[in-house]
Structure 1
Amino acid sequence: MDMAAHALPINKLQCLSSVFCGIFMCKIVYDLTGAISASFFKGYNKLSNKEKLEWNNRGFSTFHSIVVAAGSLYLLLFSDLFVDSEDVLFVNKSSTLSETIMGVSIGYFLSDLAMIIYNYPALGGIEYILHHGLSMFSIVQSLLSGQAQFYIFMVLFTEITTPFVNLRWRLDVAELKNSKLYIYNGVALFIGWLVARIILFVFLFFHMFAHFDQVKKVYWLGFYSLIAIPPVLSLMNLFWFWKIARGMVKTLRKSKQT
């Protein structure tokens, strides 16, 4: 069965516009981050060009994470979009809002991936390219087919941990690793990562198994992507979680000795 046989109608102009809005959002927030930081954070001007690049880059990644996490939370818990009904399976449900959020997210991943590749490896190694590539591939499929958006938003919600990751990097660069804020943020990152990127993925796999009768009705490429991509992302999350846990334990031990 091809994708067209399952696809719900989508507003192509709206989707394309939301992608460009995502790219434009990244550009605006990138510039604002630099301008605001230069005005209100004295240490910003002492950073190297490479550090300023990453500092500003993490500005729009933080903004994107807050936007998509809030949107995902609303669609998953507070809207009735993905409630089962007799006329439409939940794996086939989409809305103007869900398509807009996904388009904005594609714009972000395109922008960030372009910066990572252009400045490689200053902004991240091959694992970031793999993560962004798989994420974008999954979102584009779901957006074009109108299918499996419920699971896409479960994965997008995991971006809620990004502000903690970015704050940790900024505090490190600002030489504030011994501050209480660094310790509190590290603990919050550990807990947030455990809940949003480990436990939530376990729930995602359980939900897919419990609703496999609907999952297998997703068009063939989308179906195999659902089977293959989440496990890869979860392994990456486990690897990063191990590094986060080690870092937190090291920081807590160091704080007790001082």
Structure 2
Amino acid sequence: METRELTVVAGSFVVFQVLFSVASPLLSTAITPGYGRLPSTKLTEWNSRLVSTVHALIVGLFCLFILRFDDAVNADPVWGDPNLVKLNVAITCGYLIYDLVLLACNWSTMGDSFFVCHHLAALYAYGYVLTRGVLPYFANFRLISELSTPFVNQRWFFEALKYPRSHRLVVLNGMLMSLVFFLVRIAVMPSYWASVFATFGTQDFERLGLGAQVAWITSCIALDILNTVWMYKIARGCYKVMTGRGGRKSKEGTEAESISDKKHFNNHTD
């Protein structure tokens, strides 16, 4: 890994830590008085989710920029010039490390072995991009999924502030969350896998080596299976709210809530 990438990873970690410890409490207190009335465990999660939203917006929008304007990466998805992609991935790696530290420091209330494994696997996979500069198009394409994160976080913010589920802002956010989640995690699957299959058997694919091939393909399959399951739950919950069958005490009406209730659902990167 080059010095520039290491610097970005370290800088990203520090910036997100400052956002969590300093910027989020100050900003949240100024925006809503409800923040100060939350219990300490929810304050921690609130700050974490605000940082998650900032990361998602930065990385997601940067991802769209690269997909639209980085001709070198689009022309050669396996070995194209990875400079901009490395920057985007380095920001995400810094965030993942920050999130792992946050998990470790708050393990009794936020600890989850699944997400530790996920973050470590993501760091391993993105390590190939940072150290070897391979698969820039595919690594960047997966990050488009982060654009659904702000809506999932906003759903949690409304819940923490005790907005009724029938409130128009809650309903609107839920509909947008369902739509954006579908667009950036489900609808993109055919295009993504078409590009993947187009590389099979090529000389560029063989040059990757078995380690990179396995890390790339298996992680993508696992994540897309999870995305499909989550999409089903979100769509079902959205349908029940729209049809008036999503009462607060209804078990079925809260199926989609189980997703946003898990702190790190929205924090992972595909």
Deviates further, 25-34 or 153-162: 25-34
Same amino acid, percent of matched pairs = 23
The yes-or-no answer on 1:192 pairing with 2:183 is: no
Aligned to 1:4: none
Aligned to 1:28: 18
Distance 2:10 2:136 in 1: 20
1:126-166, Cα deviation, whole Å (9 max, x unpaired) = 44333323222211122111100110111111111000010
Aligned to 1:141: 128
RMSD over aligned CA atoms reads 2.0
Letter of the 1:229 counterpart: S
Aligned to 1:204: 192
Change (3 A) 1:229 1:58: same
Deviates further, 224-233 or 246-255: 246-255
The structure 1 segments of at least 4 consecutive aligned residues displaced by more than 6 Å after TM superposition are: none
Aligned to 2:6: 16
Aligned to 2:169: 181
Given that 1:168 and 1:186 are in contact with CA atoms closer than 8 Å, whether structure 2 keeps it comes out as yes
Given that 2:60 and 2:147 are in contact with CA atoms closer than 8 Å, whether structure 1 keeps it comes out as yes
Change (3 A) 1:128 1:201: farther
Q: CA deviation at 1:255?
A: 7.8
Letter of the 1:218 counterpart: L
Distance 1:248 1:121 in 2: 31
The yes-or-no answer on 1:79 pairing with 2:83 is: no
Given that 1:68 and 1:156 are in contact with CA atoms closer than 8 Å, whether structure 2 keeps it comes out as yes
Aligned to 2:58: 67
Deviates further, 219-228 or 53-62: 219-228
Q: Identify unmatched segments of 5+ residues in structure 2.
A: 248-270
Distance 1:127 1:168 in 2: 22
Deviates further, 214-223 or 108-117: 214-223
The count of aligned residue pairs is 243
Change (3 A) 1:62 1:118: same
Q: CA deviation at 1:206?
A: 1.6
